Amino acid sequence: MFKRNLLKVYVLLWFLTGCKISYNTYDFEKSPEIAKPDYSNNDSWAVLPNSFPDEISQFKTDVNEKRADIFFIYPTLIDAKNQKEWNSDIWNEEIRKDVLDRPVKYQASAWIDSGNLYVPFYRQAHIRVFNEKYKEDGIKALNLAYSDIKQAFTYYLENFNNNKPFIIASHSQGTVHAKRLISEFIDGKELQNKLIAAYLIGIKVTEDEFTNLKPMNSPDEIGGFVSWNTYKYNKYPRNYESWFKGGITTNPITWNNTEETKKESHKGMLYRDLKIFPNNIDIKLIDGIVWSSVPDVPGNFFLKMIRSYHFADINLFWVDIKENAKIRVNQWFKKNN
C-alpha cells in the first residue's frame, strides 16, 4: 500500500494540500452509463463472509459466523487526470483488483476479527468531485456513488444482518457516504440501537454532525463515532481552515482525549507485504488533525518528504483499530445481554 502506485498517492496529496489540478472530463450527463451493481449477486460485493478474497485470507483465523457485522465503505481510488468518466466501472477487472489490493487488504482487514465483513463494490466518484471547479457535476457523481451504497446497505439489512449489531467503518470518500447513510438510516432511528460504533475516518466530521450520535471518548464506549485525519508532525494542510479545523479528532491509540501519545503505547501499523510494526509512531492531537511522527520502517524516505498521511489513516493504526473494535463489540454484548 505504501510503495505501490506512488504516482496515484502524489496526485491525491496534491489535491488534499490545496494545489490546483485540471481534468479532462465529460459533462456528467454525457459520461458513459455504467452498469449498476446487483447486490443479490455476489459479484457486486468485494467481500462477503462466505466469499472471502485471497488478498485477506491470511487475516481470517475464524471461519465461524460472528455475533456482529462490519459494513465497510472504501475510499477514492480513481484519480487519473485524463479519465473523463465521473464514476468507476465496478465491472472492470483492474478496478476490482485495485479495491481488493488496496483498501480491502490494508484497511477493511483491520475489522475482520470483530465481525462478519461486508464490503460492497460501488461506482465511486472520481477524485475531482472534491475540487471546487467541478462542484456541480461532482455532486451528481457523489449522488450516484451514494445510491449504490444505499442499495447495498438496504440489501444487507434485509438479507444478511439477521438483527445483529454492526459497525460502520469508512475512509475518505467512503466517509462522505457513511455520514449520509448514518443520517438517513441510523441517527435517531430504531436501527441506532444496533450500532456498535462508527469509524468515520479521513474526512472532517463535526461534533454536531448528527442529531443523536455523539463522538466517543473512551475505548469501550459504544453507540457513537470516532474520526481523525493524519498529517506529519508540525505540518498543516493548505486548506486547513475549511477542510479540517473544527473536526472531531479521536486519539486512535488511546481512544480518549489524550492529546499526546508516545510510540510505546502504539500497538502497530500495517506496512507493505502485510508486515506489522508495533511501537512505531508518536502522535499529537491538534484541532482537526492527528500529527504523526515519521514511521520508523524500511524505505521511509518517501514518508519523510510528504506532509499528508491521509493515505495511511488506517494503516498507521491498524492493530490499534483491530483491538479497539473487538473491545467495543464485546462491550455492546455485555450491555445488551
Q: What is the pLDDT of residues 74-126, one digit of tens each?
A: 999 976 666 777 789 999 999 999 999 999 999 999 999 999 999 999 999 88
When mean pLDDT is compared across 78-82, 203-207, 273-277, the lowest value belongs to 78-82
Does a structural domain hold residue 3? no
User: 57-87: per-residue pLDDT in tens?
Assistant: 778 767 778 999 999 999 999 766 667 777 8
Residue 238 pLDDT: 84
Does a structural domain hold residue 12? no
Q: What is the count of structural domains for the chain?
A: 1
Q: What is the percent of the chain where pLDDT is above 70?
A: 89
Here the cell at position 201 is 475516518
Does a structural domain hold residue 323? yes
Cα torsion 180, 182, 185, 187: sign: negative
Question: Which residue range forms the structural domain that includes residue 142?
Answer: 25-228+239-250+317-336
Radius of gyration of the chain (CA): 19
pLDDT averaged over the chain? Answer: 89
User: 17-28: per-residue pLDDT in tens?
Assistant: 334 555 566 666
CATH number at residue 131: 3.40.50
**Kind and range of the H or E run holding 101:** none
Does a structural domain hold residue 90? yes
Does a structural domain hold residue 2? no
Does a structural domain hold residue 45? yes
Does a structural domain hold residue 299? no
> Could you tell me the pTM of the whole model?
0.92
Identify any residues that bridge with 292 across adjacent strands, giving them in sequence order.
Answer: 232, 283
- CA dist 270 and 250 (Å) reads 19
Does a structural domain hold residue 55? yes
